Amino acid sequence: MKKSLLVAAISLIALAPGCAKNSEESETAAAEPAKLSAEEALDLAIAGEQRSEEERARDQFRHPKETLLFFGVEPDMTIVEVWPGGGWYTNIIAPFLAKGGGIYIAAGLNPEASEGQARAVAEFSGKFANDPSLYGNVRQTILDGDAPIASPGSADMVLTFRNVHNWLAQGKAEENFKKFYEALKPGGVLGVVEHRAREDATAEQEKSSGYVREATVIALAEAAGFDLDSSSEINANPLDTKDHPYGVWTLKPTRRSSAVRGVEEPGFDRAKYDAIGESDRMTLKFRKPLAADGALMQ
């Protein structure tokens, strides 16, 4: 009987260190929050209180979750958004990255170019760069000029939403696509969303209407060195006839019209254009290639 008790005691002593270790591991695991997937992190950012009701109302046209997942965003990436404007996408991407340890870079306007651009940059900085608890360490660079939009080869992804038509009109599209290429790591992604013109549109129509041919965007990217990875119809709108009197700006959200002192010209049907919603858009994913032997491109 005494021998049995001694054996049992020795067994308990032998097991005790392992049991304590397992207990410690369990407590550590319980203390550490589970890592969110990209989809879960996006859901939180999109549902966040930092987004206004006006911003949320546009989700049905801009499809932020589907679009960003198509491009392949991850919370620990370094992502450059080019010309973020008022920050519609910034309000999603920056909090998404802040939670996962990623870096958000806004390659924006040149504050020295005009008072309007200086004011826009100041407003953006005041809203996003001054709230690190929500948006993380938002970095700001300038697209215009010789300076890079990010350190060469440092970005996992460069994104631009509805801006290519502006660069075509300015004659800077080729130059800007080269900057995107230089900023990206080998294998990095360039994501482009743009108002889509009919394929028979002329170069002059692309500059004046706000709509750009898909072939034009692909040619710009490939000339800069990118490969087309894939395309999506996430942001397509078959109701958009693309023949509006004030180009793409006839549609929401700009809603340009013939109104003078609140009175429309005869024959202008605002309800007709509002019923279309926002524009038909291409969604294109490009990659900076690797060398043929698998080595990293510089």
Strand partners, 192: 160, 284
For residue 73, is pLDDT > 70?
yes
Is 158:188 a contact under the CB 8 Å cutoff? yes
Is 135:129 a contact under the CB 8 Å cutoff? yes
Share of residues in the chain with pLDDT > 70 (%): 86
For residue 64, is pLDDT > 70?
yes
For residue 98, is pLDDT > 80?
yes
pLDDT for the residue 31:
52
pLDDT range class, residue 32, cuts 50, 70, 90: low
Compute the CA torsion angle 171, 172, 173, 177 (nearest 10 deg).
160
Buried b (16+ CB within 10 A) or exposed e, 195-210: bbbeeebeeebbeebb
pLDDT range class, residue 165, cuts 50, 70, 90: very high
- What is the per-residue pLDDT across 100-131, written as a single tens digit (0 to 9) for each? 999 999 999 999 999 999 999 999 999 999 89
pLDDT for the residue 130:
87
Residues 6+ apart with CB under 8 A from 297: 186, 288, 289, 290, 291
Domains, the chain, ranges and CATH? 34-238+280-287 (3.40.50.150)
> How deeply is 267 buried, as exposed, middle or buried, from its count of CB atoms within 10 A (0-12, 13-18, 19+)?
exposed
pLDDT range class, residue 7, cuts 50, 70, 90: very low
Instruction: State the Cα–Cα distance between residues 51 and 249, nearest whole angstrom.
Output: 24
pLDDT for the residue 157:
99
pLDDT for the residue 251:
98
pLDDT for the residue 2:
45
SS3 162: coil
pLDDT range class, residue 293, cuts 50, 70, 90: very low
- What is the per-residue pLDDT across 190-216, written as a single tens digit (0 to 9) for each? 999 999 999 999 999 999 999 999 999
Instruction: State the Cα–Cα distance between residues 281 and 266, nearest whole angstrom.
Output: 30
Instruction: State the Cα–Cα distance between residues 128 and 3, nearest whole angstrom.
Output: 72
Provide the mean pLDDT of the chain: 89
